[in-house]
Amino acid sequence: MNIILRTEKLRVEFKSREFRQSPKVALRGLDLEINAGEVFGFLGPNGAGKTTTINVLLGFVRPTSGSASLFGIDVRQPIARQRIGYLPELTYYYKFLTAEELLRFYSRIFSLPRAEAEKRIDAVLKLVELESARKRLIKTYSKGMQQRVGLAQALINNPDLLILDEPTSGLDPLGRMKVREIIQRLKSEGKTVFFSSHELGEVETVCDRVAIISDGELKAVGRVGDIMGPRASLEKAFLDIVGYQPQSAP
Amino acid sequence: MNNIFAVAGVVIKELYRRKDFYVLFILTVVICLVMASVNIYNDNEIIRYIKALCLLLIWISSLVIAITTTARQIPVEREQRTLLPLLAKPLSRPQLIFGKFLGCWLACGLVLVCFYAFFGALVASREHAWPLLNYFQVAFLHWMTLGVVIALTLLGSLVFAAPSSNSTICFVIVSAILCVGRYLDVMALSRQEPVRSLVYCIYYAIPHLEIPFEMRNLIVHDWPLIGWNFVALDALYLLAYAAAFLIAACLVFRRKAVN
């Protein structure tokens, strides 16, 4: 198997701003391997370390110890990000640009030749159904449209690995379905997708493998069916693995 | 270089799609035209005063545009999280810093072209003369000065979280340099140690922006051109300061978490 994304004993500590407070440990020796062509779901409760892991993979945060690589290149090298697409959770784009200009700007950063960039811009705008609004300033877009621009920018370089941080957060059911369709389409094209989500039903539908982390530690990793085991749903398995104890009603 | 130019292009687009420049330009034009239309005390030399005031307004407006545009670049990218998809691409942090600097500097250059073109037209309407080389010397060193101001503000934007506090601090520093920077050595002489040494240190450490600022007199008093070697030396001096501030900004930004 061709491993595209790897973390080894990844540990991230954030120093406390308060005097004599011990540092907050966000990740405790995380080991992950993601193979080419798989859709990988990254699950965990809020504050478990999902976004920190993504931030390390994208070079936003330096690990305290351990290592992370994309396509075998250390994530601290900007070139490691040449073949990836990234959609952050709830992001705003330059409001004074049109969708077309924004995508042209990003395609320049990927050093795409002009003709190829124009083809890619047409293709991704068609994919996210923003062709009719391509010349409108982004400040006039609705929230769903902004999320779709985000998806378009993540796909502009035809990435081999797509990293999505809660891609359906804040979207209506139609928008969610659209994102799911796009992920499945990318999977059929042989792309690798790594995404964090709280939507367990969605993860169950589209993912080949999932990892569950809690309190910065990897609790489980494997195929969706293996993780679920005899349990009725992924949600039940998730709650068991993170150690959720239901409180009895008074 | 491609990445630096790409980032710079977005900064220039931002400037001409925002209202700041147009407001300041129209304000300057209106004030200068009103001043030029009256002839107080029937003074034939009134054009000198108009030129001095107009150039002062151009300096103030260009500093306002340079500082406010630069101060919001990185903090707004962080606040609106546009920095995340940008740095998730093969763009290094120094490239981002240099791109932002180049964009602000080129945008300010375009602003100066507009301001000096208007100024030239205004003066030509009264004096029927176009001392283009004088204008070029003054505008060129003005632009170089803005390079230092922009680099300083960019560094400030990484140290101070809020664009407003950074803008205020930069305005105070630049105004202090322009107004009292050249007198610090004289002030030092009248002080006791260790204040004297401290004032001397400040005098030698600060970028002396007053030479380009005082070159306004070249146009106001119709003085002859100054030597081109002097212009080149001053430009190099200012570029060295801009480079030092940019390197400091890169060092500060290198270890900063962007999440």
CA distance B114 to chain A (A): 22
Using DSSP, how many helices (H) and how many strands (E) does chain A show? Answer: 8, 10
Q: What is the pLDDT of residue B134?
A: 86
CA distance A36 to chain B (A): 20
Q: What is the pLDDT of residue B142?
A: 93
> In a mutagenesis test of the B interface, which of A27, A82, A106 is the best target, namely the one with the most B β-carbons within 10 Å?
A106
Place of tokens 């795409």: A112
Q: What is the pLDDT of residues B115-162, one digit of tens each?
A: 999 988 888 887 777 888 888 999 999 999 999 999 999 999 998 878
- pLDDT of residue A249 exceeding 60: no
Instruction: Report the C-alpha gap between A150 and A87 in whole angstroms.
Output: 6
- pLDDT of residue A242 exceeding 90: no
Q: From its phi and psi, is residue A209 left (phi > 0), alpha (psi between -120 and 50) or beta? A: beta
Restricting to B residues 56-115, those with a Cβ less than 8 Å away from any Cβ of A are 80-82, 84-92
CB A89 within 8 Å of CB A169:
yes
- pLDDT of residue A250 exceeding 60: no
Binning pLDDT at 50, 70 and 90, where does residue B208 land?
Answer: confident
Q: What is the pLDDT of residue B42?
A: 66
C-alpha triplet B112, B118, B122: angle, nearest 5°? 140
Pick from B5, B14, B257: CB nearest A96: B14
Q: What is the pLDDT of residues A33-46, one digit of tens each?
A: 998 889 999 988 88
Instruction: Tell me the mean pLDDT in the region A78-99.
Output: 86
Q: What is the pLDDT of residue B40?
A: 66
Joined tokens for residue A196: 């964090």
A249, β-bridge pairs? none
Chain A positions with Cβ closer than 8 Å to B:
51-52, 55, 58-62, 78-79, 81-82, 84, 86-88, 90-94, 96-97, 101, 105-106, 108-111, 150, 153-154, 157, 163
- Residue B47 CA, chain-centre distance (Å), reads 25
Q: What is the pLDDT of residue A99?
A: 92
CA distance A157 to chain B (A): 10
Strands A192-196 and A209-214, by their bridges, are unpaired
Strands A39-43 and A65-70, by their bridges, are unpaired
Cα diameter, chain A: 67
Instruction: Report the C-alpha gap between A174 and A172 in whole angstroms.
Output: 5
Place of tokens 């779901």: A41
Pick from B6, B18, B86: CB nearest A96: B18
> Strands across the sheet with A3-14, in order?
A24-35, A3-14, A65-70, A73-74
Percentage with pLDDT > 70 across chain A: 98
Place of tokens 């796009």: A182
Cα Rg of chain B, angstroms = 20
DSSP string, A120-139: HHHHHHHHTT-GGGTTSBGG
Q: Is the dihedral of CA B9, B62, B214, B249 positive or negative?
A: negative
Instruction: Report the C-alpha gap between B35 and B54 in whole angstroms.
Output: 9
Joined tokens for residue B130: 């176009």
Interchain contact B1–A (C-beta under 8 A): no
Q: Is the dihedral of CA B145, B146, B151, B153 positive or negative?
A: positive
Pick from B6, B84, B92: CB nearest A60: B84
CA distance B99 to chain A (A): 12
The conformation of residue A49, written as its DSSP 8-state character, comes to S
Binning pLDDT at 50, 70 and 90, where does residue B8 land?
Answer: very high
> Of A102, A179, A11, which Cα lies nearest the Cα of B13?
A102
CB count within 10 Å of CB B17 equals: 13
- pLDDT of residue A104 exceeding 80: yes
Contact A90 B3 (CB under 8 A): no
Strands A209-214 and A217-223, by their bridges, are antiparallel
Return the H-helix or E-strand segment holding A32.
strand A24-35
Joined tokens for residue B91: 């763009």
Instruction: Report the C-alpha gap between A187 and B49 in whole angstroms.
Output: 71
Contact A109 B90 (CB under 8 A): yes
Q: What is the pLDDT of residue B259?
A: 66
CB B135 within 8 Å of CB B232:
no
CB B122 within 8 Å of CB B55:
no
- pLDDT of residue B95 exceeding 60: yes
Instruction: Tell me the mean pLDDT in the region B37-65.
Output: 82
Contact A97 B13 (CB under 8 A): yes
Contact A62 B255 (CB under 8 A): yes
Contact A81 B90 (CB under 8 A): yes
Binning pLDDT at 50, 70 and 90, where does residue B51 land?
Answer: confident
CB B227 within 8 Å of CB B141:
no
Using a CB-CB cut-off of 8 Å, the residues of chain B touching A163 are 88
Pick from B5, B9, B92: CB nearest A78: B92
Residues in CB range of A38: below 8 A, 6 or more apart: A192, A193, A208, A209
Highest mean pLDDT of the ranges A121-125, A181-185, B24-28, B119-123: A121-125
Q: From its phi and psi, is residue A198 left (phi > 0), alpha (psi between -120 and 50) or beta? A: alpha
Summary mean pLDDT of chain A: 86
Q: What is the pLDDT of residues A43-82, one digit of tens each?
A: 888 888 888 999 999 888 888 999 999 988 998 888 888 8
> Strands across the sheet with A39-43, in order?
A84-87, A161-165, A192-196, A39-43, A209-214, A217-223
Instruction: Report the C-alpha gap between B181 and B202 in whole angstroms.
Output: 9
Using a CB-CB cut-off of 8 Å, the residues of chain A touching B87 are 58-60
CB A70 within 8 Å of CB A80:
yes
Environment class of residue B12 by beta-carbon count within 10 Å: exposed (0-12), middle (13-18) or buried (19+)? middle
Contact A62 B257 (CB under 8 A): yes
Instruction: Tell me the mean pLDDT in the region A119-148.
Output: 88
CB B258 within 8 Å of CB B83:
yes
Joined tokens for residue A141: 């877009």
CB A7 within 8 Å of CB A32:
yes
The pTM of this model reads 0.86
- pLDDT of residue B89 exceeding 80: yes
Binning pLDDT at 50, 70 and 90, where does residue B66 land?
Answer: very high
Instruction: Tell me the mean pLDDT in the region A180-187.
Output: 84
Place of tokens 């105070």: B172
Interchain contact B12–A (C-beta under 8 A): no
Instruction: Report the C-alpha gap between A144 and A142 in whole angstroms.
Output: 5
> Of B121, B120, B181, B119, which Cα lies nearest the Cα of B145?
B181
Q: What is the pLDDT of residue B152?
A: 95
Binning pLDDT at 50, 70 and 90, where does residue A19 land?
Answer: confident
A24, β-bridge pairs? A14
Using a CB-CB cut-off of 8 Å, the residues of chain B touching A84 are 88
CB count within 10 Å of CB A111 equals: 13
Instruction: Report the C-alpha gap between B21 and B29 in whole angstroms.
Output: 12
Instruction: Tell me the mean pLDDT in the region A160-180.
Output: 83
Binning pLDDT at 50, 70 and 90, where does residue B44 land?
Answer: low
CB count within 10 Å of CB B256 equals: 11
